[in-house]
Structure 1
Amino acid sequence: MAAEQRASVARETMAATGYRLLLPSQWAQIPLRQGTEEAVERILHEAYARIPADAPPDKIGPYKRELARRFRKAVAGAQERNALDLYLPVKPVGDEEFNLGASILVTETVLPVRDPEGSRTPPSEIAVQLLTDNGAEGGDLSSGEVDGALAVRREHVAAAAPDRGATAGSRRVEYMVSVPGDTNRWFIAAFSTVGGGDPRDELADALVEWFDAVMATFRWRH
């Protein structure tokens, strides 16, 4: 067996202890299990530092409070889902300021073993279950690999849900990736964007392509 093949087999069987993604500097990672408050305070402090020095004093206070409210609400919502990490675009791009119109939420799940004898279900069978699950009505489903691990990609448009704070529809793409060394654990990276106001517009299309490119940089940590 060639050295490259041996290295590939070793990566597939070695338990993963983490992951990494390459994101533009405008995006920040907010860990949701430990160090959350420190990350939130740092990001807000950097945002406050970008307020123009000549801004009207009576506008600064309300702006800071609204910024903090929106940001903390997004973080709290992610924590309620027992997620691992939240990624948000928190630095200006051109004339755009602090923009929460897109996000990446990282979670993990352990799928139940369906074999009556309790043996582990092969990832390929779980992928079939995920692909045939109609949980995302009208969505597009496909399978492939991410850093050598079996993955399922699901894309759909979610309707607005005002009762849950989602006042507009959103375009969503989820990558569900089998964790090396533990076939019942799955890593999930879920991207969401409102586009330019319409989840099916050209901006949303471009952002979906961007997220696919981001997932191409995904690597396991062992």
Structure 2
Amino acid sequence: MTTEQTAAAEESSKPVKGYRLLLPSQWSQIPLRQGTEEAVNRVLEDVYSRIPEDAPPDKIGPYKKEIAKRFRSSVAQAQHRNGLDLYVPVKPMGDQEFNLGASILVTETTLPERARGATYADPTDLAAQLLSREGMNADLSSGDVDGAVAVRREYVADADPNQGIEVASRRVEYIISIPGQAARWFIAAFSTVGGGDPRDELAEVLVEWFDAVMTTFRWRRG
């Protein structure tokens, strides 16, 4: 075994302490466990700073309130889902204005033991069970992400006004087995409304973009 191989083996044997994900500068990270309020305020201040100086004063106040309401609602929903981090595109891309039409929510889940003292089966089998139990019509595929078993699920989620979801969205989820922790799974969930239709060309492009982002995923080990 070469020195490089030995070093790689030693690194992969260390316990997972977190993750890394490379995103364009237009996207901002909102930590959902600690430092949330500070991150939210930074994002809002950045958005407010781009309001045109010649904007009518009587329009600025209501605009700020609406942006803050929508953004804080999205963050609160992510926290309610026991999220770790929320990523949103809050900086302009070309002529694009600030919007919440896309997001990435990072969470983790622990699978319940099927019986007292039971041991966990192969991660691939458990991933299939985790995905199939919801019974939704989705495209599923499996593979690995940074050496860990992963399942990719893609589907369209219908609007649900009762849950505060006003429009349908395209969803792509990567469910990844956390190395050395058979019961724990990492989930990176992307959502977009596209150009108003979750099946339109913009949605397709953004799904491809998210798949490319996930190729940059790496575990942080300590």
Which TM-score applies when normalising by structure 2? 0.93
Q: Which amino acid in 2 is paired with 1:124?
A: T
> In the superposition, relative to structure 1, how do residues 136 and 100 fare at CA in structure 2: closer, same or farther (>3 Å)?
farther
Query: Residue 39 of structure 1 aligns to which amino acid in structure 2?
Result: A
Report the CA distance between 1:136 and its aligned residue. 5.2
Q: Could you say what the CA RMSD is over the residues aligned between the two structures, in angstroms?
A: 1.7
Tell me what 2:99 maps to.
Answer: 99
Tell me the amino acid that sits aligned with residue 218 of structure 2: R
Write the distance in 2 (CA, Å) between the matches of 1:141 and 1:202: 21
Identity %: 67
2:204 is matched with: 205
Q: Deviations over 1:164-199 (max 9, x none)?
A: 111111100000001112111100000000111111
Q: Does 1:31 align with 2:31?
A: yes
Opposite residue 126 of structure 2, the aligned amino acid is I
Three-state SS of the structure 2 residue aligned to 1:84 is strand
Which residue identity lines up with residue 198 of structure 1 in the other structure?
D
**Are 1:216 and 2:215 matched, yes or no?**
yes
Does the C-alpha gap of structure 1 residues 151 and 26 become closer, same or farther in structure 2, counting only changes over 3 Å?
same
Determine if contact 1:48/1:64 at 8 Å carries over to the other structure.
yes
Q: Give the aligned partner of residue 150 of structure 2.
A: 151
For 1:56-71, list aligned pairs within 5 A: 56-71=56-71
Aligned to 1:205, the other structure's residue is in SS state helix
State the secondary structure of the residue aligned to 2:83: coil
Q: Determine the structure 2 residue equivalent to 1:89.
A: 89
The residue number in structure 2 matching 1:113 is 113
Give, in whole Å, the separation in 1 of the partners of 2:8 and 2:128: 24
List gaps (5 residues or longer) in structure 2.
Answer: none
Of 178-187 and 207-216, the range deviating more from structure 2: 178-187
* Number of corresponding residues: 221
Shift of 1:56: 1.1
Instruction: Tell me the CA shift for residue 11 of structure 1.
Output: 4.6
For structure 1, which segment, 61-70 or 115-124, has the greater mean C-alpha deviation from structure 2 after superposition? 115-124
The answer for the alignment partner of 1:167 in structure 2 is 166
| Cα distance, 1:12 vs structure 2 | 4.4
Q: Deviations over 1:41-88 (max 9, x none)?
A: 011111111111111111111111111111111111111111100000
Matched to 2:197, the amino acid is D
